[in-house]
């Protein structure tokens, strides 16, 4: 228990969970989201910004596989480097990293949702679980709504 929690008393402590919860509506469903503490937010963003190298490599291999068949065919738009393929000036390895970062961001944000079933938890959810439930456009809408809930913009805070 923190100094503030003990200073505010038992009634505050009983209501703290509601204070750290926001709701939003998407597709007719009301979602509850946990507002992370500052340290939790920092941990989330640290995990997002440091993706697993093996996951990046797997994504890269998946993206690069169709192009490897054309490795011996000259093309001015495609350059085959030692550990990367550059298509029209864009690195496939960087694209793979961005894909994994996006998947991690979606996963980390969805873990902030509060299940309606009190016995359920989203702590061990994977991107594959999310992908099986929601199309990418819904995933993006969800993380946008979660982002707005956990960190309202200046305009929302001001009330305009």
pLDDT score at 51: 93
pLDDT score at 14: 72
Q: Residue 114 corresponds to which tokens in the numbers above?
A: 């509060």
Q: What is the pLDDT of residues 67-112, one digit of tens each?
A: 888 888 878 888 888 899 999 999 999 999 999 999 999 999 999 9
Beta partners for residue 26, in sequence order: 29
- pTM, entire model: 0.84
Give the rounded percent of residues in the chain with a pLDDT score beyond 70: 94
**Which helix H or strand E contains 80, and what residues bound it?**
strand 78-80
SS3 content of the chain, % helix, strand, coil (to 5): 55, 15, 30
Q: How far apart are CA 156 and CA 19, in angstroms?
A: 17
């Amino acid at each position: 228990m923190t100094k503030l929690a003990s200073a505010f008393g038992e009634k505050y402590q009983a209501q703290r969970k509601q204070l750290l919860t926001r709701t939003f509506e998407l597709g007719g469903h009301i979602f509850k989201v946990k507002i992370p503490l500052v340290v939790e937010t920092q941990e989330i963003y640290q995990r997002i910004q440091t993706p697993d190298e093996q996951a990046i490599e797997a994504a890269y291999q998946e993206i690069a596989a169709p192009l490897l068949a054309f490795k011996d065919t000259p093309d001015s738009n495609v350059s085959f480097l030692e550990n990367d393929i550059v298509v029209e000036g864009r690195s496939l390895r960087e694209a793979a990293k961005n894909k994994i970062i996006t998947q991690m961001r979606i996963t980390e944000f969805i873990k902030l949702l509060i299940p309606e079933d009190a016995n359920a938890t989203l702590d061990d959810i994977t991107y594959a679980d999310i992908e099986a439930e929601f199309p990418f456009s819904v995933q993006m809408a969800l993380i946008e709504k979660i982002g707005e809930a956990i960190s309202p913009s200046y305009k929302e805070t001001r009330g305009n």
